[in-house]
Amino acid sequence: MRVGIGYDIHRLVKKIPMVLGGVSISHTKGPVAHSDGDVLLHAICDAVLGALGRGDIGMMFPDTDPSFKGTDSGEFLEKVTEIMDKDGFVVANLDCTVISEDIKVTSYREQITKNISGILDVSEKVINVKGKTAEGLGETGKGDAIEAHAVVLLIKKDKS
């Protein structure tokens, strides 16, 4: 068994599309990023890479690489899933928390869970996505940033 933790934060500005967990979200602001800035998928990538002992998303997909500009972060998680598969691991369960002042994560929970389960190739039952606010505190509390935490447990495929 391997456990991994992931965290990410992105600044939010007007006139940028908002994507969370691979789902397009109707919002006045979106993340400033080299890729599509999907804070949740980035945290999940880091959690899985961490569990595998394979560094982090920045090492794997450097933001200095122009080929990753505007990339759908689902592609990052797909590549991370391939690595996990090659290493012989599968997700036992994944728990995530998104912190956003004004995006109602619970409204998108089902779609996000379905999307993540599709990419990771596991049942939706082992994926949990929670949303909460920052109680008005800091940049996230002002609605100028969005954060995500992810914890994943991986198990060896042959020992499941």
Binding residues (CB under 5 A) for Zn ion: these are 8, 42
Instruction: In angstroms, give the least distance from the CB of 10 to Zn ion.
Output: 5
Toward Zn ion, which CB reaches closer, 90 or 112? 112
Cα–Cα distance, 59 to 1 (Å, whole number): 24
Q: Which residue number places its CB atom closest to Zn ion?
A: 42
Instruction: In angstroms, give the least distance from the CB of 80 to Zn ion.
Output: 13
113 closest CA partner among 89, 95, 91: 95
| φ/ψ bin of 3: left (φ > 0), alpha (ψ from -120 to 50), beta (otherwise) | beta
Instruction: In angstroms, give the least distance from the CB of 94 to Zn ion.
Output: 17
Toward Zn ion, which CB reaches closer, 6 or 143? 6
Instruction: In angstroms, give the least distance from the CB of 6 to Zn ion.
Output: 10
Toward Zn ion, which CB reaches closer, 1 or 32? 32
Q: Is 78 exposed, middle or buried (0-12, 13-18, 19+ CB in 10 A)?
A: middle
Q: Where are the alpha helices (DSSP H) in the chain?
A: 39-52, 57-60, 73-86, 105-120, 138-141
Toward Zn ion, which CB reaches closer, 77 or 120? 77
